[in-house]
């Protein structure tokens, strides 16, 4: 491939575009659909035009792209691939070959390909595990794409703005966060029919404390009609710690604090963004964590938590609701949570917000797009990634498939074609580049993307956004720590264990090297603050 001299990396003068968790494809919004559908169409058209940038090779270049699906591998991948190549071969002289894996085997498949040096030019990273961004970057499995972005990814840089700091280390960029709704909040989600039957709907909607929530759970537990339901369900054993970092051992919602885990997926280290002292702590040995597990122990001893949570086979708490097993659950979610969970649970749900999270590095590195160390065509990979972030045609093909085959559009909203609610291709909208270019799905208003992007831009940002620890010197300790967490954390956070076992958990963490991990993070955070403040 003919290459031009790569120019100096784009300076950090892009306008900040503030962006949560894995935003669902079934979000809801309010507003006027007709007018905003026209705005959505015009914006998509403008972005598509802006995303088509010149490349400096004439022959068609082949790249290999990998991502996962939460369900089975779609039948229509090759048709979507062909539709994408009709665009990319003409506009960026690039042919894209797509491999999709089920979520449960994605780590393994990516590992096998990289171990055998199979070319993987472009891939999505996961929130954690071997295919997580932090793990892959620390092991040298992601290329430094700083100069490639300057050359072929101007649209990416303009779209993500300062948010790309989350995937940067020492001024170098190793992946790109998906530009999606990361304005996440902590919610209590409850069955509306149960609340109405017990005359507790108004109380639930207006509650401001966990003690009020506990009273509602006890009312469900003690009722004749609903006593078969677990007051608090958990589809996974780890119940209490919120991904966003909320410390829920306090009573009043207004007193809830938040930790920033500094991008640490094991959540061993944390800081308190509001404390102002920049102190890195062992999160499992803080007063906030102890208060939280004490709350969990009280709920467990009262029988309020699903008794089989440690051996639960349910794929999430929403499935427990749908199966008439549970009454409520705790969740981190984005705008539109009520509509999203009504779809997932199959019934009306009442959602009460507890806390709004600031945008953190951890929320941005859940899903990122990177060029793997085995890539043979990194230039073309970044050129195609640029289209993922700027071209609505590519964004909708990757999320919903082929219009007229896999879905239709009515008044700016995508939906299944009548008689075909199991199309050959249908994936999640938050995985691919720029979620805000993807048409809203059925059940949402046409202005969903504009509403959620505006909300995200208004959300506060953690003062540690962009900090990333180089963990290469503590990789052995992280491995040992992960083993201890796997042994203790679920039981501790469910409230199953007493205080003595909780202290044993902390002691084993320290024996495994927790203090060295905390010290490493503190040293690097201090250096980062000195350079960036």
The residue ranges of every structural domain in the chain are 37-182+363-456, 185-239+305-357, 472-532
**pTM score, whole prediction:** 0.77
Q: Please state, in angstroms and as integers, the Cα–Cα distance from residue 122 to each residue in 5, 432, 525, following that order.
A: 22, 11, 30
* Phi–psi pair at 500, nearest 5 degrees: -65, -40
Q: Annotate 40-104 with DSSP letters as a single string.
A: HHHHHHHHHHHH----S--S-EEEEEEEEESSSPPTTHHHHHHHHHHHHHHHTSEEEEEEEEEHH
Res 36 pLDDT > 60: no
What's the pLDDT tens digit per position in 236-261? 655 666 667 888 889 999 998 888 99
Mean pLDDT across 214-235:
94
Chain Cα centroid distance, residue 135: 16
pLDDT at 344: 86
pLDDT at 354: 93
Q: Which fold has domain 37-182+363-456?
A: D-Maltodextrin-Binding Protein; domain 2 (3.40.190)
Res 203 pLDDT > 50: yes
What residues pair up with 355 in beta bridges, in sequence order? 186
Query: CATH number of the domain at 185-239+305-357, please?
Result: 3.40.190
What residues pair up with 65 in beta bridges, in sequence order? 98, 122
3-class DSSP state of 185: strand
Res 222 pLDDT > 90: yes
What's the pLDDT tens digit per position in 186-196? 999 999 999 99
The residue with greater pLDDT, 167 or 315, is 167
Separation of alpha carbons 48 and 155, rounded Å: 10
Separation of alpha carbons 16 and 164, rounded Å: 10
Two domains, one topology: 37-182+363-456 and 185-239+305-357: yes
Mean pLDDT across 480-492:
92
Mean pLDDT across 94-104:
95
Mean pLDDT across 456-464:
90
Q: Please state, in angstroms and as integers, the Cα–Cα distance from residue 203 to each residue in 209, 298, 305, following that order.
A: 11, 22, 21
């Amino acid at each position: 491939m003919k290459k031009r001299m790569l120019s100096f990396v784009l300076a950090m003068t892009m306008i900040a575009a503030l962006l949560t968790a894995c935003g669902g494809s079934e979000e809801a919004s309010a507003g006027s659909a007709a007018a905003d559908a026209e705005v959505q169409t015009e914006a998509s058209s403008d972005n598509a035009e802006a995303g088509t940038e010149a490349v400096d090779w004439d022959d068609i270049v082949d790249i290999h792209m990998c991502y996962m699906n939460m369900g089975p591998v779609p039948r229509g991948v090759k048709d979507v691939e062909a539709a994408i190549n009709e665009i990319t071969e003409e506009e960026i002289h690039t042919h894209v070959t797509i491999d999709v894996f089920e979520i449960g085997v994605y780590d393994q498949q990516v590992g096998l390909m990289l171990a055998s040096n199979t070319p993987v030019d472009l891939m999505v990273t996961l929130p954690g595990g071997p295919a997580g961004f932090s793990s892959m970057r620390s092991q040298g499995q992601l290329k430094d794409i700083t100069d490639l972005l300057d050359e072929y990814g101007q649209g990416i840089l303009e779209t993500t703005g300062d948010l790309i700091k989350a995937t940067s280390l020492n001024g170098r960029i190793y992946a790109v966060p998906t530009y999606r709704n990361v304005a996440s909040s902590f919610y209590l989600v409850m069955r509306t029919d149960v609340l109405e039957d017990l005359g507790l709907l108004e109380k639930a909607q207006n509650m401001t404390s966990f003690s009020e929530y506990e009273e509602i759970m006890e009312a469900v537990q003690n009722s004749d009609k609903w006593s078969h339901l677990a007051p608090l369900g958990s589809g996974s054993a780890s119940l209490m710690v919120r991904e966003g970092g909320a410390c829920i051992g306090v009573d009043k919602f207004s007193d809830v604090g938040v930790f920033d885990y500094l991008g640490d997926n094991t959540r061993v280290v944390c800081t308190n963004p509001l404390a102002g002292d920049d102190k890195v702590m062992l999160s499992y040995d803080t007063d906030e964590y102890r208060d939280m597990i004490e709350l969990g122990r009280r709920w467990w001893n009262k029988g309020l938590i699903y008794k089989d949570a440690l051996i639960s086979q349910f794929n999430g708490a929403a499935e427990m609701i749908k199966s008439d097993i549970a009454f409520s659950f705790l969740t981190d979610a984005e705008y539109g949570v009520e509509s999203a969970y009504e779809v997932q649970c199959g019934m009306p749900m009442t959602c009460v917000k507890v806390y709004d999270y600031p945008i953190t590095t951890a929320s941005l590195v859940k899903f990122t797009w990177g060029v793997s160390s085995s890539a043979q065509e990194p230039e073309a990979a970044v050129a195609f990634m640029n289209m993922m972030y700027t071209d609505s045609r590519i964004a909708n093909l990757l999320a919903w498939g082929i219009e007229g085959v896999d879905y239709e559009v009515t008044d700016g909203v995508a939906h299944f074609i009548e008689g075909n609610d199991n199309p050959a291709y249908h994936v999640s909208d938050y995985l691919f580049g720029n979620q805000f270019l993807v048409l809203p799905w059925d059940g949402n208003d046409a202005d969903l993307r504009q509403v959620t992007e505006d909300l995200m831009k208004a959300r506060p940002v953690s003062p540690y956004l962009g900090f990333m620890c180089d963990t290469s010197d503590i990789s052995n300790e992280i491995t040992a720590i992960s083993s201890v967490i796997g042994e203790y954390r679920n039981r501790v956070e469910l409230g199953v264990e007493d205080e003595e076992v909780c202290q044993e958990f902390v002691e084993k963490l320290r024996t495994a090297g927790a203090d060295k991990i905390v010290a490493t993070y503190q040293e690097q955070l201090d250096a980062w603050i000195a350079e960036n403040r």
